[in-house]
Structure 1
C-alpha cells in the first residue's frame, strides 16, 4: 500500500509497494494525475481519453493488465476519476516484477485520495447531460425489401415471391396495419435522446493524529426506449468511499479504506435492439387497431374483451405463429428484469518505523477482503399475439387468430446469482538511507498472496510471490536497480511451481554532467535502460494442464454381442515439466525538459519476447500419437509457442504564455508491432504460416472482383464453397492448383491498431478555460461480417444491398448478387469484407468559467466552476459510417453536459 497526500501527486510517484520522488523514477513508468485535468475536462470514466495523456497506456498490447486499486487487484469500474489521486502505468519488466506472475502484462496502479491535515475541505459537483444517438442501422422498408428479395429469388433460378400489386400496397402505405412497414428505430418507439445525471461530494480533513477522506457519488441514466417498460428503464450507481489514516504513536501508523458500490438497472424483458436488427419490416404489425375490427365478428370482439393487454385502450398486440414475441410487444407486456450488483471492499494496513533497530528500516503490512454479489430479479409474463384476417373489399378485420396466452403471474424470479470473494495481503520490509549525502541506498523484501473464489468455481484462484528490490543512486545522477520475484503457481506441477524472475534497471542523468549543466536548452536529460525476465502463468488458461486426461469412449462387445462395455482412452498426455511462460525484455528510455522547462518529453523503446506459451503441439509428434476415432491423443501441453513485441511510446507537454493566455499542448502516442515468432503449424504453403505474421493477424481469401458470366466462372479455378454463379465473389488461386479452398487463405489484415495516441490542448484566459481532447488509432483492420453486411436467406436487408450485382449494373456493383440460399461462397472471411479502422476522434471539448477569487474572498466558497462540455463529437475516418454504427445494441451517442463544482 502506498500513500499519496492529495495535492502532492506531482512530487511523488506510486510504484510497486512504495513511493518515489519524481526525479528518482526510472524505467518504463508513466504517471497520470487526474487533478491536473479533471476540472478542465471532467469525466466519470476512469481512463477516458488516456491515450492523449500517457504513452504506453495500453501496456504495449501485451494482454489484459493487472489493475490495482490502493495495491489490491480490483476492477477499473470500482473507482471514479474524482476519487483518484494518481494513476501509474507500470510497463517495463523492472517496474512490474515485484507483483510477480500476475503482472507480466503490465500494471495499472490506481491510488485513491487521502485526507490532509489542516482545515477541512469539501467539494460538491453536479452534472446533467443528454446522450444523442449518432447513427441507427439503415434497413430497407417493406416494399424495397420485397423488390430485392424478388431479385434474390431470380438470381437463384426461382420465381419472384412478391407480385407487383403486393409491393404496391406496401409502398403506398394506404393501410399501415394491413401492409406494415415497421421501422423499429423510429420516433414512435424511441426518444431522440436520453439523460445522464451525476453528482458527488468529497470531504477531507483531520490533524496530525487522524486524517480522513470520503466521497459519495451517484449516477442515473434512463434509456432511449419510450414505450411500455421502456419508460421505466434506468441505470443507477451509488458509490461511497472512506479512507482513514491514524497515527498511533511516533513509530506506528495505521489506515483503513472502505469502499462500497451499489449498481442496479431495470430493463424491459426481451432484447429490443437485437430483435430490431433481425425482424423484417413487413412480417406483421406490432399493434392492431381495435376500431378496425368488425363489430359483427363476435369471436373477434370476444378476443378483444378477454385480452389483458389493450395498449393505450386502442390496440391489440400483433405477431404471427412464427413470431410469438417481438420487441415492441415485449416492451409492453413481457415484464421486466432488474440487475443488482453489490460490492464491498475493505483494506486495512499498518506502517511501523523501525529506526531504533536500524536507521532507515520500516515495516508495512496490508490485508484486504473484497466481496461482490450480482443477481437478476425478474417478472416474466407471457402474452398473446393476434393475426388479423382482413376483408377482401375494405380495410376492416373480419377475424382474429390468437397465438400464445396472457399470463401475469406476478412471481418474482431470481437468476444468475454470482459471488466473488478476494482475500489479498502483502507485507514488506523497506530500507532507505543516505550515506555521505550522495550515496542513496534502498532495499525491499516483500511477500504477497491473493486468493479468489467465485460461484461455480471449485478451484481457488491463487497467486503468491516473494520479491526483492535493491537500488542505489549516486547523487541522484547514476542509478541502478535490481528487482526480482520468486513466483509460485498452483497451475503447475509441484516440481515446476517455483521460479525466479530477475530484472535490472540503469539510469543516468546527463544534465547533471559538466558538459550539460547550466545549459539554456537542456534543463533535464535522463537516460534509462532495463532488462529482465518475468515468469508468468497468465498464458496457462486452466489448472492441471500438466496432467494426462482419461475418458470413456467407444463401446465394444463380446460373446456375440451379449455383453458390451466402454473403452477408456487418453485424451491428453502428461507433462510434469510444463513451466511458466517467460517475458524476456529490453527497453530504453529518455526523459527531458527543454527551453526553460517549456517542453517536457518522455519516450521508451521496447523489445519483448514472450517465450514458451503452452499449447498442444500436434505437429511436433508423430501422427500415430493421436487419432480422431476413437478420439485418442498422447500429445501433452508443452512450452512451445512464442510472440514478439517491439515499438515505442512517447508523451510530451509544451507550455507557453501568449499575452494573457496560458497555452498547454500535450501529445502522447504508442506504436506496437507484434509478431508470432513460433507456432504449432505445418502448412504446405508458406504464405499460410502464422509464424512471422502479427499476433492478431486475420486470415482469409483474396478477392478479385465478381464473376461477370458463366464463361468467367468456367475459365477460373474451381471454387469449392458451394454453388457459384455470376455476381459471386471471385477469389485468387494462391497456390495455382486450380482449386479455391482453405489452402488459398492469406493474411488480409490484423485486428489491433499499430499506433494509438492523442492530443490535448488547454487555453486559459483570465477566468475562462478551453479544453480540447483528440484521440487517434491507425493500422487496424475490421471485418464486415455481421448480419447487417452478410445478407442472405431471409435475413433482414440493410441498405448495403442497394448496390448488389445484377446483369444491368455488373460493371458498377459493389455488393455480390443477392441470394435466398446460404451464400457460402460469398459470406466468408476475405479481403472483400475488410476495412481500415483508422480514425481521428474529437473526443471532448469543455469550456469552464471559474468565478474570480475577488468575488469569493468574503464568501465561504473557496472556488466555483461552471462548465459545458461535449464528448464523442466528431470522427474523421474513411469508414466513419461503419465505425460509428452499432448493430444489435444500443447506438453510439454524443454526450452534451453542463456541470458545476463548488469547493468549501
Structure 2
C-alpha cells in the first residue's frame, strides 16, 4: 500500500514540475462568503442552519501537528470532542467526521498543513443530508486544492520542547511505612512494619526506597516538524501536493527512548477535460510508527504510580547491572528497569491510505445553474505490532531458616529471541455517491436545490490469528435540500433524508426524516435605513427530526441461544447427563432508528461600521428511542435473556454567544473576540426499577454526581455514639468498616423522604442523593490578534466553570486502600486510642482529609460533598509571535517570503487544583502527563 501511494504521488509531482503552461493570476475573492453544506455551498446570507467555520489560518496558529488536537477550543460549537455537548449523555455522542466527502475517516489522519477549512455542522438542517450517523453533529474537513495561479512552493519547519506540567508527588519509603501502620491501626489491625524497618529505609537493598518518577522519567522531550507544499495550476489543470514529517521522542530516562515518527503525503489533482467535465483524483497517506520498549504508556505510568517505594530494590548491587536486578514476592519476579531495558522491544506501524476519484459536470450552458458530481472513495487502514519478547533474571532478597540473608533467583537471562507479530488489525472503507445542484436567480427569487445519493461500507477485521470480524457497517442515504430566497431577505429551506441501515430488520431499515428552516435579514428592510448603529441584522430558526443508527449493534433483531451452557442429570439414578442450552438474546424486530428532534434559534448582528459582530444561538434537542437493554422485561426465572428496545430518552439544550471586534488604525490592525457556551442534558426517560422514587435517574442530569451529604467529622467516641442516634440506637454505616473519630459524618437522607416507610438509622445506598454535576456548565474562549506592519501576535485563552470535581478518585487524593501514598497522606486525620485499642479521639484538628484506611471502600471515601470541590480553570492555550522578514532578506536566499515564528501552547493555568492538570487529573498517573510546549520555526515561500 505504501508503494502504491508513494509511486502515484511522485508521478503526479514529476508531471507538475515539468508542466510549462504559464498560469495566470486570478482573483479568488467573492462578494460574499460561501458556507460549505453537504453536497453544495450557500451564501452566508441564505444560511438558515448553524455552522462554525475554522480557516486554515486559524489551524496553523497551533503547535499541534494533527487536526484532532489543533481543532480544540477554536469555536463554541466543538468543545471537549463533541458538538453542542452531550446529546447522548456522554455515550457514543462523538460527531461524524467527513474528510473530502467520505465519513468513517479520522481527524488524526490529517495534518493541519493539508487543510483548507473545517466546517462544524450543528443544527438539523445543516447535517441532515449526511444521513444516519450525523445526528451528533458533523465535522467537515476540506483539504487544499490547486488554483489557477502562479506556482507556489512552501517549506515550513519547526522544532520544539514539550515540558511536563506536573508529575504526581508521592512519599518516600519511611513515610509510607509509617502511615500504612497508622491505616492498619485505624482498621483494628496490627502494624506491618517495625520501627527498625522505618529507620533503615533506603540504607541498602534490603530496605529499598525508590523514587520511581525521579528515576525513570525526564522532565521534557522534543519534537521536529517539516512540511513542504506545491500548489498552482492553470485554467485546465490545478494541483496541490504536500509532504510532511513529524517526529517526537519519549520521556524515558532509562533505556532507549521511545520514538514516534509520522510521514504524511497528499496529492490533489483537478483536470478540466472540456467545458462540461472536470475530473479529480486525490491520493493521501499517513504512515505512523512508534517504537520503544514493550510497556504501553498506560502500563508504564501505572507502574510508576502504583509501585510503592519499598516494594522492591531496583538493583541489589550499588551499580546498575543486568545481573543485579531486584524483585519481591509481590512483583512475580518482574522489575521495571528490566522491563524497560532487557525485556525486548515493540514496534507499532499504522498506515492510512485515502483515495478519491470524482467527476464534476457543469451543465450551465444547457440548463442555467445546473451542476452535478459523481464520486467514489476507497480507504485502507492497517495496523501491525511486532517485537521481541526477551527474558531477564531477577534476585529476590530473603532470609534462610538460620536467619541469614540470601538471594533467590527468579527466571533466567535470555537476551536473544525471535521477532514476532504481536497484534494487527485493518479496516476497509468504501463509499460512492452522486448529487445534482441547481442554483438560479430569477429577479427577486433565488433557488438552490440539491439532490444527493450516498452509499458507504466499512469492513473491519480485528485479529489475523482467528480471522474474527465484526459485521460490515453499511448505510445508504437519499437526500434533498431546497433553499428559496425572496428579495435576498426572506429565506426558507427544506432538507430531507431517506435513510437506510443494515442494523435493523428488513421491515424497518428505511425511514424518511425532514427538517425546515427560515431566516430573515431584517437589515434589508426599509425601516432599518434610519437605524445607523446596526449595519446587519439577521434572525433564523430551524426545526426537524433525523435518525441515528450508530449506537446500535448488529443483529439485535435475532434470537440467540448458547449451546453447552452447563449440564444437568436425569434418570431414576441420575445416571444420564444432558447439555443445557441458554436463551441469551431475545430478538426485537421492531427496533428502528434512534431519533433526534431539534430546534435552533439564532441571531447575527454587525455594528459600528461592521467592526463589531455579535452572534447568539439557542438550541433544544430531544433524543428519543435510544437503544436500551431492557433489564426488567423478563422475570429472573426465565434466565433473563437480553433484549433491546427503543426506550431511553435525553433532552439536551443550551446556548452559544459570540463576539468579535476588528479594527485598523494606520499600520496597526487588531481583533478581539470570544465566546460563551452552555450545555445541559437530562434523562427524560430511563429504564430503571428502584424501590423509591428519589433513587430514580429519570428527570435528572446525565452528568449528575450521586453521593452522600457530609456533616463534618466525628471527633470523639461519644460523637460516634450520639450523632444521628435514634433513641438509644446509634447511627451506623454499611459503607466499609466501623465508624471511628476521623471519619466523615454522613446525613441519613433516606429518613427525610416521605415515601420511605421505615427509619433504618443506617448510612447505605438509600442515602445517596444528587450532590453536583461532573461536566462544565459554562465554557468560554478569548482570542486576540494584533498586527503591526510585518509583526503579528496571536493568543487564545479558554476556560470552564460550573461543575464539581470529586476527590475520591483517583486514590492519589485520598490514599484509600492498599495503595502507594501521595503527599495528601500528611493531611489525614489521626485518631487516638485507649489501652484496649479503641479509638477515642483525634491527635489534633490540623487535618483536611479523613483518617486513613486499608479498605478500598472505606466509609469516608465514598463520594460525598466534603471530598468535592467546585471546578473551574482558565488556560492560556496558544500564543504565537510571527515576523515576516523584509524582502531584501528573503531575496538573498531566492525566496519570495521568509517568515519566522515562536509559539507556546498550554503555557499557564489558573485552577482550583495546585498539583494536577484540571483537563485530566489522571495525567501522569495512568498515562502521559500534559505538556506545555515552546517551539520556533521558519516558513519559506518560493
Answer yes or no: same fold by TM over 0.5.
yes
| Matched residue, 2:306 | 278
CA distance in 1, matches of 2:131, 2:59: 32
| Matched residue, 1:46 | 67
| Matched residue, 2:913 | 879
| Matched residue, 1:379 | 388
| Matched residue, 2:507 | 495
Q: 1:592 aligns with which of 605, 609, 622?
A: 605
| Matched residue, 2:897 | 863
Q: Note the C-alpha offset of 1:682.
A: 3.2
8 Å CA contact 2:315, 2:321 repeated in 1: no
Q: How many residues get paired? A: 861
| Matched residue, 2:478 | 466
Q: Note the C-alpha offset of 1:51.
A: 5.9
CA distance in 2, matches of 1:685, 1:102: 37
Query: What is the DSSP-based 3-state SS (H/G/I as helix, E as strand, rest coil) of the residue aligned with 1:614?
Result: strand
| Matched residue, 2:422 | 415
| Matched residue, 2:650 | 643
CA distance in 2, matches of 1:6, 1:166: 80
Matches within 5 A, 1:541-620: 542-552=553-563, 553=565, 555=568, 557-618=570-631
Which shifted more, 280-289 or 38-47? Answer: 38-47
8 Å CA contact 1:569, 1:632 repeated in 2: no
Match status 1:776 vs 2:799:
yes
| Matched residue, 2:291 | 266
| Matched residue, 1:153 | 184
Q: 1:806 aligns with which of 823, 830, 836?
A: 830
Q: Note the C-alpha offset of 1:276.
A: 1.0
| Matched residue, 2:880 | 846
CA distance in 2, matches of 1:166, 1:7: 77
CA distance in 1, matches of 2:599, 2:856: 51
8 Å CA contact 1:851, 1:865 repeated in 2: yes
Q: Note the C-alpha offset of 1:199.
A: 1.1
Alignment TM-score, normalising by the size of structure 2? 0.87
8 Å CA contact 2:146, 2:269 repeated in 1: yes
CA distance in 2, matches of 1:582, 1:388: 63
Q: 1:317 aligns with which of 316, 320, 325?
A: 325
8 Å CA contact 1:53, 1:759 repeated in 2: no
| Matched residue, 1:299 | none
Q: 2:935 aligns with which of 882, 897, 902?
A: 897
Query: What is the DSSP-based 3-state SS (H/G/I as helix, E as strand, rest coil) of the residue aligned with 1:511?
Result: helix
8 Å CA contact 2:166, 2:916 repeated in 1: no
Query: What is the DSSP-based 3-state SS (H/G/I as helix, E as strand, rest coil) of the residue aligned with 2:303?
Result: helix
Q: 1:369 aligns with which of 354, 378, 387?
A: 378
Which shifted more, 76-85 or 571-580? Answer: 571-580
Instruction: Show structure 2 runs of 5+ residues with no match.
Output: 1-25, 88-92, 462-467, 725-730, 752-758, 832-841
| Matched residue, 1:71 | 101
CA distance in 1, matches of 2:654, 2:397: 65
Deviations 1:821-873 (A, max 9, x none): 44443443333443433211111112111113465578742222111111111
Match status 1:19 vs 2:41:
yes
Query: What is the DSSP-based 3-state SS (H/G/I as helix, E as strand, rest coil) of the residue aligned with 2:181?
Result: helix
8 Å CA contact 2:814, 2:849 repeated in 1: no
8 Å CA contact 1:52, 1:669 repeated in 2: no
| Matched residue, 2:776 | 753
Match status 1:734 vs 2:742:
no
CA, structure 1 residues 495+6, in 2 after alignment: closer, same or farther (shift >3 Å)?
A: farther
Deviations 1:457-515 (A, max 9, x none): 34111111110111111232111110100001111111111111100010111111111
| Matched residue, 1:219 | 246
8 Å CA contact 1:321, 1:403 repeated in 2: no
| Matched residue, 1:725 | 739
| Matched residue, 1:665 | 672
Q: 1:117 aligns with which of 140, 144, 148?
A: 148
Query: What is the DSSP-based 3-state SS (H/G/I as helix, E as strand, rest coil) of the residue aligned with 1:103?
Result: coil
Q: Note the C-alpha offset of 1:666.
A: 1.7
Query: What is the DSSP-based 3-state SS (H/G/I as helix, E as strand, rest coil) of the residue aligned with 2:324?
Result: strand
Q: 1:693 aligns with which of 677, 697, 700?
A: 700
Match status 1:765 vs 2:773:
no
Which shifted more, 713-722 or 112-121? Answer: 713-722
Which shifted more, 771-780 or 212-221? Answer: 771-780
CA distance in 1, matches of 2:917, 2:694: 30
CA distance in 1, matches of 2:867, 2:558: 42
8 Å CA contact 1:52, 1:667 repeated in 2: no
Query: What is the DSSP-based 3-state SS (H/G/I as helix, E as strand, rest coil) of the residue aligned with 2:859?
Result: coil
CA distance in 2, matches of 1:551, 1:710: 56
| Matched residue, 2:409 | 402
CA distance in 1, matches of 2:671, 2:606: 15
Q: Note the C-alpha offset of 1:24.
A: 2.8
CA RMSD of aligned residues (A): 2.5
CA distance in 1, matches of 2:684, 2:868: 25
| Matched residue, 1:302 | none
Query: What is the DSSP-based 3-state SS (H/G/I as helix, E as strand, rest coil) of the residue aligned with 1:515?
Result: helix
Query: What is the DSSP-based 3-state SS (H/G/I as helix, E as strand, rest coil) of the residue aligned with 2:392?
Result: coil
Query: Which consecutive aligned stretches of 4+ in structure 1 deviate over 6 angstroms post-superposition?
Result: none
CA distance in 1, matches of 2:27, 2:343: 50
Match status 1:179 vs 2:207:
yes
Q: Note the C-alpha offset of 1:208.
A: 0.9
Alignment TM-score, normalising by the size of structure 1? 0.91
CA distance in 1, matches of 2:165, 2:176: 25
CA distance in 1, matches of 2:349, 2:211: 32
8 Å CA contact 2:829, 2:851 repeated in 1: yes
8 Å CA contact 2:63, 2:904 repeated in 1: no
CA distance in 1, matches of 2:29, 2:420: 50
Q: Note the C-alpha offset of 1:711.
A: 3.4
Q: Note the C-alpha offset of 1:178.
A: 4.3
CA distance in 2, matches of 1:890, 1:796: 18
CA, structure 1 residues 244+399, in 2 after alignment: closer, same or farther (shift >3 Å)?
A: same
CA, structure 1 residues 845+325, in 2 after alignment: closer, same or farther (shift >3 Å)?
A: same
8 Å CA contact 2:898, 2:938 repeated in 1: yes
Query: What is the DSSP-based 3-state SS (H/G/I as helix, E as strand, rest coil) of the residue aligned with 1:287?
Result: coil
CA distance in 1, matches of 2:659, 2:395: 65
Q: Note the C-alpha offset of 1:81.
A: 1.6
Which shifted more, 872-881 or 43-52? Answer: 43-52
CA, structure 1 residues 118+595, in 2 after alignment: closer, same or farther (shift >3 Å)?
A: same
Query: What is the DSSP-based 3-state SS (H/G/I as helix, E as strand, rest coil) of the residue aligned with 1:161?
Result: coil
CA distance in 1, matches of 2:583, 2:194: 61
8 Å CA contact 2:917, 2:930 repeated in 1: no
Q: Note the C-alpha offset of 1:435.
A: 1.4
Q: Note the C-alpha offset of 1:897.
A: 0.5
Deviations 1:391-434 (A, max 9, x none): 9xxxxx97533111111232102122101110011211222222
CA, structure 1 residues 646+533, in 2 after alignment: closer, same or farther (shift >3 Å)?
A: same
CA distance in 2, matches of 1:426, 1:64: 24
Which shifted more, 268-277 or 93-102? Answer: 268-277
Instruction: Show structure 1 runs of 5+ residues with no match.
Output: 292-308, 392-396
CA distance in 2, matches of 1:39, 1:723: 56
